């Protein structure tokens, strides 16, 4: 009875967080510019309402009573895990004082405005005091949440539960060692095909093609829609309404197509969570306060990267899809073959900007950021030292000189948005994608056969069974161990990259 | 201090209700079909959250304390009125038991589904039990809210505070008597121009034209947007984000243009409420639980009808706007003059469907419905008798035979949506529009001069000063008395119609 009552409480929280998602989606796609200030109030109010409901004495009493009931259930009962997750989130929220949260929101608003200005003027000193304030506030937030190994671990928990800085450092060491020779080999064979993607591609046609690719990969449009935005994203308001966006640039085809496939990967995860989990803790990030079915940011990224890179950035894929693409863009692609198009979308070229990075250099951008932000949070580096640390890491990692901070430490929105701790999930996603993809191919020959003939249902079926349907009822590591027999490991990822880009 | 704390509480309620508005707008314009069930949960949860917060003991204590503070303020202080309005809403919500509200929501969902089926099959008996349940539930809801004159008055208060059935009946008697000779005169001079509007008008161009008209009348697109929907509507999430929709039919031009002008009238009201009232009780319907700046449904409708009919359905307007319209639709309108187009949009033709009705017959549709629903709520009529009462009233009022219930008592969504009590506001809007328009023209010659040359700013300025800016800080009658020297009266409306359509 109390487990049920607690479930109703969580359903209410989920409804509020789904509503919050609608506000966010609308603000990025449909809202007139004048609505921004009011929308800020609305988003803050719904966030606070969800948090207060969750952290209330009344909810805590429900949890305590539900725990007594759950103790009588079998050890592997889902209800036990549900109550455990609610308890953990309720306690975490109750540990963070209201004034820390308010400061966090206030700092974020100021820091974001300062970052926009600093980036426009290429002036780190404009952003410096706000980054200092952000770091200070994030430290107090981490301390309130609690940690044992490194203060950064408290933040990792928000995005990648169970992850620690110590583990990440081991992962990064393996990646750095493994990636360098592959990168060197790839750079020794420049293909010069990238320019193909910079011809003229009418935006209306790009839209049709992007939607067609999403549908081809299995995106259910009766429970979704595709819009255009500057920064592509996926967002869900229960599994029954999962929306994606992509970016259209008339003289650069890659963002629209690969943005759509990337976000489709995220969307497939959300659309295929067990329907029984809708409006439960297994479809809600109670700690981060948003409605999501994926079990961690890294696990989510594994699905977007799997569909974008392992499926979409493959020769088999373009041998099948390129003829139709060529028909849609006869002028731009008339002289191009599927093989050449594949070369264009797998060009390797180290650069300064993370969001433009190819498969081989992307993780260097991530590792550099994680190292810096962990040191800031741990107090091992000062904000003043960030630009120089960035330059040094870029030189060491990719051999590039950073001419200014706009192309360096001012390029990302994350720090000004208080999202310290989230960067690692991009690399975790890359590593996990390869591990799952390798296991899927090994488990059933029909999956590889399907990819060769454009039937993506066998792969989707395997992912649905092993990843998607579980929602947040299993952790990332539980999913990996059950699906691949091992926890997160770099082997499959390095094998995949070596096979695709190596000597 | 407590007045301020109460204000913060109301700001939170307003934020939640604005968020609710976004959910509703999205569900009618953007949401994929699969999202409907989840969205229902989200809407129910935000409604309940706003209601519970408002009706809580804590809010009541804030009100009591704020009242003591307000008692020390001058009698005409806005804060006194604010606290009074909050007290009234809090008490009303606390009087309605939770199970009545839950039943109301449950009945509505069932009744709506039954109505859709009944209308499709033209079978009143399918809807009958649900209408009976709706009436029974609405009666208990009205009794919980409380009333003195007629039980229907409790429902009128939800849409048109201060209105009573007794006053409405006097208003209707005057209208019936005054409209009949004008209608007879108009019917004696059929102009046959209506067919012009049923030529072919490409939808894309209609969209441009509709947006152009909205802008011409003063709609601020930096704080709004226009979309297409089957049922046009206006909705606001604070005055800074006020959205409208209209309907596009390739072979009927009227809905797009007059729908856009009608909704623009609503939007002008919302966009021009005093900015100081944002997130206060003066921009929130705390009883009806939605975010709105207009003081009543009738007052709101007065603005939509004023711009749609007094401005948009005038010869002066089309003498100015028709040349551009003709340019946009050269094939359909090449042989048409501004005068002939004006005749087309002012054709009078009694019909069975309310939403298709012209200016002269519209109120008959309304009065018929109000009479029936008031009798149902008062217990003076049984649901079984509705179809026959409808036929009789249609014969008496407009001389028309009703061949079936689909064209009769099953045509409107209102009863199945639990909106009993709202119909009168359409006619109140018509009457009030004429009264305000007459007063505006009399107050300043620049207003009429502006209308003759396409400058709508003087009229908008008068309405902003006398109506819009006050938001919900003044009642409909207070606004009318201050602006026209009189309470709601039929004289100006009947004079306007006689001048436009009479002998």
Q: From CA B165, how far away is CA B98, in angstroms rounded? A: 27
Of B30, B38, B225, the CB nearest to A225: B30
Residues of A in contact with B240 (CB under 8 A): 34-35, 37-38
pLDDT digits (tens, 9 = 90+) for A169-224: 999 999 999 999 999 999 999 889 999 999 999 999 999 999 999 999 999 999 99
Cα(B498)–Cα(B491) distance, rounded to whole angstroms?
11
CB contact under 8 A, A222 and B26: no
- For residue A246, give both structure tokens: 């992509």
The token duo for B481 is: 């008395």
Structural tokens at position B296: 């009543």
Under an 8 A CB cutoff, do A35 and B223 touch?
yes
Distance from C-alpha of A463 to C-alpha of A299, rounded to nearest angstrom: 12
State which residue of chain A sits closest to B275, comparing Cα positions: A38
Decide: helix, strand or coil at residue B178. Answer: helix
Judging contacts by C-beta atoms under 8 Å, the chain A residues touching residue B11 are 41, 45
Of A26, A49, A278, nearest to B16 by CB-CB distance is A49
Which residue among B18, B35, B38 places its CB closest to the CB of A42? Answer: B18
Query: Residue A220 burial (CB < 10 Å; 0-12/13-18/19+)?
Result: middle
Chain A residue nearest residue B241, CA to CA = A35
A327 contacts: CB under 8 Å, gap ≥ 6: none
Nearest Cα residue in chain A from B20:
A19
Nearest CA to B338 out of B356, B321, B355 is that of B321
- Cβ count within 10 A of residue A218: 20
Q: How far apart are CA A452 and CA A454, in angstroms?
A: 6
Closest CA to A487 of A437, A431, A442, A440: A431
Given this model, what pLDDT does residue B294 score? 98
Does position A345 have pLDDT exceeding 80, yes or no?
yes
3-state secondary structure of B140: helix
- A contact test, residue of B241, B272, B279, B284 with most A CBs within 10 A: B241
Identify the pLDDT of residue A109: 86
Average pLDDT taken over every residue of chain A: 96
Four-point Cα dihedral A447, A452, A455, A461, nearest 10: 10
Predicted confidence band of residue A451 (pLDDT cuts 50, 70, 90): very high
Q: Which of A38, A40, A215 to mutate to test the interface with B (most CBs of B within 10 A)?
A: A38
Query: How confident is the model at residue A383, as a pLDDT?
Result: 98
Of A16, A34, A49, the CB nearest to B241: A34
Backbone φ, ψ for residue B285 (5° rounding)? -90, 90
**With bands split at pLDDT 50, 70 and 90, how would you rate the model's confidence at A445?**
very high
List, as ranges, residues 214-273 from A with C-beta within 8 Å of B.
220-225, 237-238, 240-241, 243
Active site residue B438: no
Choose the closest CB to B241 out of A31, A243, A278.
Answer: A31
pLDDT tens across A9-40, in order?
999 999 999 999 999 999 999 999 999 999 99
- Catalytic one of A263, A308, A343, A373: A263
In the numeric block, which tokens belong to residue A397? 């990692």
Largest CA distance in chain B: 70
pLDDT above 80 for A1: no
Chain B residues within an 8 Å CB radius of A18: 38, 42
Nearest chain B Cα to A40, which residue?
A: B15
Q: What pLDDT, in 10s, does the model give residues A391-441?
A: 999 999 999 999 999 999 999 999 999 899 999 999 999 999 999 999 999
Average pLDDT over residues A328-342: 98
Q: Best mutation site among A10, A15, A267 for testing chain B: the one with the most B CBs within 10 Å?
A: A15
For B79, counting Cβ atoms within 10 Å of its Cβ (0-12 exposed, 13-18 middle, 19+ buried), the class is: middle
Q: What is the pLDDT of residue A84?
A: 97
DSSP state of A230: S
Q: For residue A84, give the nearest of A470, A484, A472 by alpha carbon.
A: A472
Instruction: Report the alpha-carbon distance of residue A199 to residue A210 in Å, rounded.
Output: 17
CA–CA distance, A441 with A446 (Å, rounded to integer): 8
Residue B327 CB neighbour total at 10 angstroms: 9
Q: Which of B17, B19, B211 to mutate to test the interface with A (most CBs of A within 10 A)?
A: B19
- The DSSP symbol for A249 reads B
> What's the ipTM?
0.95
pLDDT at A368: 97
- Alpha-carbon distance of B109 to B97, in angstroms, equals 19
Which has the closest alpha carbon to A146: A96, A103, A105, A102?
A96
- CB spacing of A222 vs B34 below 8 angstroms: yes
The one-digit pLDDT tens for each residue of chain B (503 residues) are 799 999 999 999 999 999 999 999 999 999 999 999 999 999 999 999 999 999 999 999 999 999 999 999 999 999 999 999 999 999 999 999 988 988 898 898 899 999 999 999 999 999 999 999 999 999 999 999 999 999 999 999 999 999 999 999 999 999 999 999 999 999 999 889 999 999 999 999 999 999 999 999 999 999 999 999 989 999 999 999 999 999 999 999 999 999 999 999 999 999 999 999 999 999 999 999 999 999 999 999 999 999 999 999 999 999 999 999 999 999 999 999 999 999 999 999 999 999 999 999 999 999 999 999 999 999 999 999 999 999 999 999 999 999 999 999 999 999 999 899 999 999 999 999 999 999 999 999 999 999 999 999 999 999 999 999 999 999 999 999 999 999 999 999 999 999 999 98
Q: What is the pLDDT of residue A176?
A: 97
CB contact under 8 A, B16 and A45: yes
Q: In chain A, which among 13-42 make CB contacts under 8 A with chain B?
A: 15-16, 18-20, 22-23, 26, 30-35, 37-39, 41-42
Q: How confident is the model at residue A41 (pLDDT cuts 50, 70, 90)?
A: very high
DSSP H helical segments within A56-164, as ranges?
Answer: 57-70, 78-95, 98-121, 124-145, 151-159
Q: How far, in Å, are A15, A188, A189, A361 from residue A185 at the CA level?
A: 51, 5, 7, 13
Q: How far apart are CA A30 and CA A10, in angstroms?
A: 29
Q: Do A240 and B278 touch (CB under 8 A)?
A: no
Rounded to a whole number of angstroms, the distance from the CA of B31 to the nearest CA of chain A is: 8
Residue with more model confidence, A147 or B102: A147
Sketch out chain A's domains with CATH numbers: 2-149 (1.20.58), 194-349+435-478 (1.10.1370.30)
Report the C-alpha gap between A257 and A264 in whole angstroms: 11
Residue A155 CB-half CA count within 13 A: 27
Query: Residue A227's beta-bridge partner residues?
Result: A245
Q: How far is B148 from chain A (nearest CA, A)?
A: 37
Rounded distance between C-alpha atoms, residue A15 and residue B47, angstroms = 11
Task: Exactly one of B81, B133, B163, B263 is catalytic; name it.
Answer: B263
Q: Using an 8 Å Cβ cutoff, are A334 and A341 in contact?
A: no
H-type alpha helices, B148-296: 151-159, 165-187, 203-217, 254-271
Number of A:B CB contacts under 8 A?
117
What distance in Å separates residue A222's CA from the closest CA in chain B? 5
* Nearest CB to A41 within list B223, B225, B279: B279
Min distance B245 CA to chain A CA atoms (Å)? 14
Q: Is A211 on the interface with B (CB under 8 A)?
A: no
Nearest-CB residue to A23 (from B22, B32, B37)? B22
């Amino acid at each position: 009875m109390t487990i049920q009552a607690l479930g109703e409480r969580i359903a209410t929280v989920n409804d509020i967080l789904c509503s919050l998602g609608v506000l966010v989606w609308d603000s990025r796609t449909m809202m007139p510019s004048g609505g921004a200030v009011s929308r800020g109030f609305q988003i803050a109010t719904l966030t606070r309402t969800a948090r207060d409901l969750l952290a209330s004495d009344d909810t805590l009493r429900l949890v305590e009573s539900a725990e007594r009931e759950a103790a009588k259930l079998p050890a592997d009962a889902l209800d036990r895990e549900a109550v455990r997750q609610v308890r953990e989130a309720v306690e975490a929220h109750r540990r963070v004082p209201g004034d820390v949260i308010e400061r966090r929101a206030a700092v974020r608003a100021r820091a974001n405005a300062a970052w926009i200005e600093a980036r426009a003027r290429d002036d780190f000193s404009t952003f410096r005091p706000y980054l200092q304030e952000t770091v200070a506030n994030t430290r107090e937030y981490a301390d309130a949440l609690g940690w044992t190994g490194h203060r950064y671990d408290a933040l990792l928990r928000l995005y990648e539960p169970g992850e620690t800085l110590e583990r990440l450092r081991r992962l990064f060491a393996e990646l750095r060692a493994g990636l360098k020779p592959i990168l060197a080999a790839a750079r020794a064979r420049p293909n010069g095909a990238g320019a193909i993607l910079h011809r003229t591609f009418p935006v209306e046609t790009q839209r049709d093609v992007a939607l067609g690719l999403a549908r081809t990969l299995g995106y259910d449009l009766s429970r979704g829609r595709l819009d255009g935005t500057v920064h592509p994203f996926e967002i869900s308001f229960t599994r029954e309404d999962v929306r994606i966006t992509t970016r259209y640039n008339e003289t650069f085809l890659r963002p629209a197509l690969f943005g759509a496939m990337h976000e489709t990967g995220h969307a497939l995860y959300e659309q295929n969570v067990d329907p029984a989990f809708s409006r439960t803790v297994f479809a809600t990030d109670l700690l981060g306060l948003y409605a999501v079915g994926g079990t961690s940011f890294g696990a989510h990224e594994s699905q977007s990267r799997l569909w974008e890179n392992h499926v979409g950035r493959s020769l088999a894929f373009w041998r099948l899809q390129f003829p139709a693409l060529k028909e849609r863009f006869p002028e731009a692609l008339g002289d191009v073959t599927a093989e050449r198009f594949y070369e264009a979308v797998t060009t390797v070229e180290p650069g300064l900007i993370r969001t433009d990075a190819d498969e081989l250099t992307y993780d260097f951008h991530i590792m550099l950021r994680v190292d810096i932000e962990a040191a800031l949070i741990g107090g091992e580096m000062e904000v003043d030292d960030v630009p120089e640390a960035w330059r040094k890491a870029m030189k060491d990692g990719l051999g590039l000189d950073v001419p200014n901070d706009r192309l360096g430490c001012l390029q990302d929105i994350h720090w000004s948005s208080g999202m310290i701790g989230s960067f690692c999930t991009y690399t975790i996603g890359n590593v996990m994608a390869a591990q799952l993809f390798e296991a899927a191919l090994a488990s059933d020959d029909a999956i590889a056969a399907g990819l060769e003939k454009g039937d993506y249902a066998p792969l989707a079926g395997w992912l649905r069974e092993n990843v998607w349907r579980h929602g947040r009822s299993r952790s990332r590591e539980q999913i990996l161990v059950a699906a691949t027999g091992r926890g997160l490991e770099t082997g499959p990822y390095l094998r995949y990259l070596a096979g695709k880009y190596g000597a």
